[in-house]
Chain A
Amino acid sequence: MLRYLARRLGWALFVLWFVASVTFVGTLRVGDPATAIAGPHASARDRAFVRRFYHLDDPPRVQYAHYLSHLARGDLGQSFRYHQPVARLIAQRLPRTLLLGVMTLAFEFFVGIAVGTLAALKRGTRFESLILGATFVGISTPTFLSGKLFLIVFAFRLGLFPIGGYGEGFFDHVRHGLLPAMVIGLLGTASQARMVRSEMVEILQTEYVRTARAKGLSEVQVVLGHALRNALLPVITSLGLSFGALFSGAIVTEAIFAWPGMGRLAFESITGLDLPVIMGTVIFASTGILAGTLVSDLTYAVLDPRIRRP
Chain B
Amino acid sequence: MALVDPRAIARFKKNRGAFVGAALVALVMLFSLLAPVLSPHDPNLPYRNETLTTEGVPIGPTARFPLGADPVGRCELSRLLYGGRVSLAVGFAATTIVVLVGTTVGLIAGYFGGWVDTGLMRTVDALMSFPFLLVVMALNRIIHRPGLWLVFVVLGGLSWPSMSRQVRAKVLQLKGLDYVVAARALGASHLRVMTRHLMPNLVSLVVVIATTLVAEMIVAESALSYLGVGVVPPAASWGSMLQESESLTRAAPRLTLIPGLAILVTVVGFNLLGEALRDAFDPRS
Closest B residue, CB atoms, query A283? B131
Please judge, given known A-B contacts A19-B130, A270-B229, A289-B131, whether A251 and B268 are in contact too, CB under 8 Å.
Answer: no
Please judge, given known A-B contacts A30-B142, A251-B134, A271-B229, whether A148 and B126 are in contact too, CB under 8 Å.
Answer: no
Most buried by B among A145, A248, A278: A145
A273–B142 CB distance below 8 A:
yes
Which residues of chain B come closer than 8 Å to A244, judged between CB atoms? 131-132
CB distance from B88 to the nearest CB of A (A): 16
Q: What separation, in Å, do the CA atoms of A278 and B142 have in the docked complex?
A: 11
A152–B249 CB distance below 8 A:
yes
Task: Write the A255-296 contact mask toward B (1 if CB under 8 angstroms, else 0).
Answer: 100000000001100110100001001100110011001000
B250–A156 CB distance below 8 A:
yes
The size of the chain B interface, using a CB distance under 8 A, is: 37
Q: What separation, in Å, do the CA atoms of A273 and B229 have in the docked complex?
A: 12
Which residues of chain A come closer than 8 Å to B223, judged between CB atoms? 142-144, 252
A281–B134 CB distance below 8 A:
yes
Q: Does B264 contact A (CB under 8 A)?
A: yes
Q: What separation, in Å, do the CA atoms of A12 and B133 have in the docked complex?
A: 21
A248–B126 CB distance below 8 A:
no
Most buried by A among B129, B130, B263, B268: B129
Q: Does A62 contact B (CB under 8 A)?
A: no
Q: Does A141 contact B (CB under 8 A)?
A: yes
Closest B residue, CB atoms, query A263? B134
Q: Does B184 contact A (CB under 8 A)?
A: no
Contact of B126 among A18, A149, A247, A285 (CB under 8 A): A18
B130–A282 CB distance below 8 A:
yes
Which residues of chain A come closer than 8 Å to B46, judged between CB atoms? none
B256–A140 CB distance below 8 A:
no
How would you classify the secondary structure of chain B's contact residues: helix, strand, loop or mixed? helix
Task: Write the B232-271 contact mask toward A (1 if CB under 8 angstroms, else 0).
Answer: 0000000100100000011001001100100110011001
Q: Does B135 contact A (CB under 8 A)?
A: yes
A139–B271 CB distance below 8 A:
yes
Contact of B138 among A14, A19, A149, A270 (CB under 8 A): A270
Task: Write the B208-241 contact mask toward A (1 if CB under 8 angstroms, else 0).
Answer: 0000000100010011001111000000000100
The size of the chain A interface, using a CB distance under 8 A, is: 42
Q: Does A221 contact B (CB under 8 A)?
A: no
B256–A290 CB distance below 8 A:
no
Q: Does A299 contact B (CB under 8 A)?
A: no
Please judge, given known A-B contacts A19-B130, A248-B131, A252-B226, whether A142 and B267 are in contact too, CB under 8 Å.
Answer: yes
Closest B residue, CB atoms, query A142? B219
Most buried by A among B130, B141, B228: B130
CB distance from A97 to the nearest CB of B (A): 13
Residue pairs across A and B with Cβ atoms less than 8 A apart, 27 shown, are A11-B125, A15-B129, A19-B126, A26-B139, A136-B271, A140-B215, A144-B239, A149-B256, A149-B257, A152-B250, A156-B250, A156-B253, A247-B133, A251-B227, A252-B226, A252-B227, A255-B227, A270-B134, A270-B137, A271-B228, A273-B141, A278-B138, A282-B130, A282-B135, A285-B134, A286-B129, A289-B131
Contact residues of A between 234 and 260, Cβ < 8 Å to B: 244, 247-248, 251-252, 255
Task: Write the A145-156 contact mask toward B (1 if CB under 8 angstroms, else 0).
Answer: 100110110001
Q: What separation, in Å, do the CA atoms of A251 and B227 have in the docked complex?
A: 9
